[in-house]
Amino acid sequence: MSIFLFFAIFFVHLLLECFSYYYSFDYSKIILKKYKWKNCKNFFFVTTFELCKDNFFIQKNMNKQRNENKALSIAETKTYKHKTAITSLKNIVQNKERVDFILENWNRSLSIRRGWIADFNKIILQYVKYYQELAVLREHSSGVRSARFSPDVTKIASSSIDKTIRIWDVKSKKRIHLLEGHSDLINDAQFSPDGNTILSCSWDSTIRLWDANSGEEKTAIKRDSSCVTCAQFSPDGQTIVSSSLSNIVRILDVNSGQLIKTMDGLFCEVFNVQFSPNGQQIVISSYDKTIGIWDVRSCKQVQELLGHSLEVMKARFSPDGQIIVSCSKDKTIRLWDVRTGRELKKLLRHSNWTTDVKFSFDGKTILSCSKDETIRLWDVKSGNETQELKGHTNSVTGVDISRDGNMIVSSSYDTTIRLWEL
């Protein structure tokens, strides 16, 4: 009997040790001290029942908590997906204009169907340049005739009907110098190749040189009694070519202002003259609807480009000197082969005079502007328009692009200068 009691107590003690796993103190010792054996049996069953009941409720609560967590997780996931969808939608809306214009261009050139691949916009935006308005510079009191970047793209020189030239800091978008001296509207102002000098020409019949750093006038040159329509530095910065309404093109020495050469034989007013990249040729745009290519050394015309139906406003060489791009009052932009004089392409999108045109420095893009208040970008290889820039509220008179191709500056009769960037 005593042995049986011993084993029974041992068994209960063992069970209570197991139960102590669920509690922070040792029940077995308390029970054996507090209760007699006859009560141990009742305590054992009562405690076991309570533990089972507690465990049931614990499991039930745990399951409930798990379900709540699961529901919360699902809700959070839905919320996250909802927010992601909204963000994606916003991005799609923001990129709509960009994607539309790229798709339009690609559809014209490659006949690509919309939706041919998911994330099409993300892929092609890596390869297509898309400019957006960065800033509007307002200070001129009358229409702005030109705006040009400095070679290092830290400054802009603008000329205006208000008879002033202003130099702007690109970073701060503030005017840093006001150049006064011309007595009539100024047709153009540009930086020298080294960026230290500004060259301007005006209806007051003068060409003036200015210190780009101080804004002080250095030289005033008067070689004609009529309006000077254009003046440009040679690529080495040592000479200047100028044109006027008196049908004369002159080449002048920068340092002395002395006349070096004159190109005679022109039968009409000259609107614009530009050096070739190697400085050996000059392209002349005339009122008589023609474009002439002249040799600088011999002062003879070597090629005549015919095709425009109205006055040619400007013509410029490509960076490699192999192509000329021209713009005219006939609303067209034309590409010409310099060697043969053959017309290569005719670009038609502007609805009014094209007033200025320029190659990008890599020669792959053409910029044009017009009296229709727009700026347009064109792919040289395909001849397709790649972008239209709107913002000016009057005729756009001039356009320039930075050497790295990341910024565009434009001038307008709306008295503003606008900066555009990628």
Residue-wise pLDDT for 298-355, tens only, equals 999 999 999 999 999 999 999 999 999 999 999 999 999 999 999 999 999 999 999 9
Q: Please report the pLDDT score of residue 49 as a whole number.
A: 41
Q: What is the CATH number of the domain that holds 230?
A: 2.130.10.10
Both 182 and 300 in a single domain? yes
Both 69 and 182 in a single domain? no
| pLDDT confidence tier of residue 47, bands split at 50, 70 and 90 | very low
Spatial CB neighbours of 370, under 8 Å, sequence gap ≥ 6: 331, 350, 351, 352, 353, 354, 355, 376, 395, 396
Both 167 and 237 in a single domain? yes
| pLDDT confidence tier of residue 138, bands split at 50, 70 and 90 | very high
pLDDT tens digits for range 49-90 = 444 444 444 455 555 556 655 554 554 555 554 555 445 444
Mean pLDDT taken over the chain: 82
Q: Please report the pLDDT score of residue 246 as a whole number.
A: 87
Both 309 and 186 in a single domain? yes
pLDDT, mean of residues 259-278: 91
d(CA 239, CA 254) in angstroms, rounded, equals 5
**Overall number of domains in the chain:** 2
Both 277 and 208 in a single domain? yes
Both 264 and 341 in a single domain? yes
> 123: burial class by Cβ within 10 Å (0-12, 13-18, 19+)?
exposed
pLDDT at 18 over 60: no
- Percent of the chain with pLDDT strictly greater than 70: 69
Q: Please report the pLDDT score of residue 128 as a whole number.
A: 60
Domain range for 59 is 2-76
Q: Which of 52, 76, 100 is the last residue of a domain?
A: 76
Residue 128 counted as domain residue:
no
**pTM > 0.75:** no
Q: Are 199 and 231 in contact (CB under 8 A)?
A: yes
Both 68 and 170 in a single domain? no
Both 270 and 344 in a single domain? yes
Residue 360 counted as domain residue:
yes
Both 137 and 205 in a single domain? yes
Spatial CB neighbours of 122, under 8 Å, sequence gap ≥ 6: none
3-state SS class at 195: coil
